[in-house]
Structure 1
């Protein structure tokens, strides 16, 4: 198996038309800058990474408060929308988001879809993952949403 893997690597390298990185083309390397948004308690609410005129923003999980799943989900979505705005983006700029729900069951799906459609729409939606989990960071947290957005750099 190791010989086969090595053969694939050699084949890939021999088919690659790009020149290897040398001192002559090192000046063409991309400059990447990072900005930490609202850092606290060992993490940042978001981190923006900028390169080649594009800014990708990674949002930490936003958790909601409330007595019901629907109330917590609404609150988490509102917090995500606030963080997007604070970062110079909108939900239209989101390319991927993940939702984590404690003790998820399929009977929660209609409420999830209704709130998502009401607050975020249902046309040209980003890639999405819904995951049922046993627990989140605190016992009172029932839902958490994280996202990635891409915008033009300033």
Structure 2
């Protein structure tokens, strides 16, 4: 499924201001909505531009765990999450939260039992049904 955001330039905008606004929105990735938009300079003052973003299978954020040292490393291309915890941390049933791409879901339940340095595999499914295999690895320093 495609996420759509739109921006409508209302009537009453003068031609020069309209062209400036349309050009700025196009530069931000907005496109004319079919049947509504006319090219700048056309004199139409009621135009709608839309921005379509494909739903993803990414992890946007992963919460910090107790005893964690440094930042969580999320690699969208390799589909990995890696984090380190202090020496002496006993890994057990770790509760965590992930923020995913809009509309995405994960099959990784929380809390989850982790083993030092062993990758935990799971899937993220996008709103459109695309599936990506990810891993989370926690290393005790």
Place the TM-score, normalised by the shorter chain, in its bin.
under 0.3
TM-score, length-scaled by structure 1: 0.22
Q: Give the number of the structure whose alpha-carbon radius of gyration is greater.
A: 2
Could you say which structure has the greater relative contact order, defined with CA pairs below 8 angstroms and 6 or more residues apart? 1
Indicate the structure with greater helix content: 1
Indicate the structure with greater strand content: 2
TM-score, length-scaled by structure 2: 0.24
